[in-house]
Amino acid sequence: MLLLALDTASSAVTVALHDGKHVVAEDSVVDSRRHAETLTPMISAVVAAAGRAPADLTAVAVGVGPGPFTGLRVGLATAVTLGLALDLPVHGVCSLDALAHAVVTGPDAPAEFVVATDARRKEIYWARYRAADGLVERVSGMPQVGRPAELPAQIRSLPAAGRGPMLYPDAFAAALPPSDVPAGSVASYAVQQLAAGRDLLPVQPLYLRQPDATPATAQKSVLPR
């Protein structure tokens, strides 16, 4: 196995390779405005750093959000294009689940915690998780979006990973690393789920609200008045 993982759902553009046992190469750049310019060269660099070629890839995993619309689409379009070009299966992973997996597989993981990422508009994307024996379980249902000050008290009492607790420190009990989704965790979470025979997500963006830009409802005249 040689699985390529990538995520552009947060401020980071992140890419990793996983050989079925461990991450063999990984890179991340925090740049929320240059996902498109950064991602493709980074994929090439990570594959080359592992001493591999695109033809060696056997699968692709991509974070499907939730996340900002433009950045998220860059990652999904790239993953789908690679899958078509190389005839590879492409798997979707909830980006919050991947970030939670990073917490659980890191040192001193709490038994329960929150993942909260920046949704802009003074809001966060969030979900609650439980850790047990190196595995992570989302216990709050589907990820949600909302204002930090309006979170339930039981959520605010938990430590949180992601940029949410960095941006709104008063809304959470403590901040946990990492602040952005690492592609290595997208990869290892996908490998873990596939090995257990569990289905991953379809490669579709996990949008929790409508985009800021909407098509015009009526044609505008270009003639002088």
Residue 212 has pLDDT above 50, yes or no: no
Range of the domain at 49: 3-94+181-195
207 within a domain of the structure (yes/no): no
Q: Do 171 and 113 sit in the same domain of this protein?
A: yes
Structural domain count of the chain: 2
Residue range 89-104: mean pLDDT, rounded: 97
- For residues 196-220, average pLDDT: 72
For the ranges 5-14, 73-82, 94-103, 209-218, which has the lowest average pLDDT? 209-218
Tell me: do 22 and 56 sit in the same domain: yes
User: In the prediction, which pLDDT does 87 show?
Assistant: 97
Check if the beta carbon of residue 140 is closer than 8 Å to that of residue 134: no
For residue 210, what are the contacts with CB-CB under 8 A and spacing of at least 6? none
Tell me if 225 is assigned to some domain. no
Contacts of 150 (CB under 8 A, 6+ apart): none
Tallying the residues shown for the chain, one arrives at: 225
Three-class SS of residue 223? coil
| Alpha-helix runs per DSSP H in the chain | 35-49, 69-86, 95-104, 153-156, 164-167, 183-195
Angle at which helix 183-195 crosses helix 95-104, to 10 degrees, equals 90
Cβ-based neighbour number of residue 146 at 10 Å: 16
Q: 172 falls in which pLDDT band (50, 70, 90)? A: very high
Domain co-membership, 65 together with 13: yes
Cα 117–chain centre separation: 10
Asked if 16 and 191 count as a contact pair (C-beta separation under 8 A), the reply is no
Whether residue 11 is contained in a domain is answered as yes
Would you say 96 and 127 are in contact if contact means Cβ atoms under 8 Å apart? yes
Residues 8 and 90 grouped into a single domain: yes
Token digits of residue 79? 């993953």
Q: Tell whether 85 and 186 lie within a shared domain.
A: yes
CATH of the domain at 158: 3.30.420.40
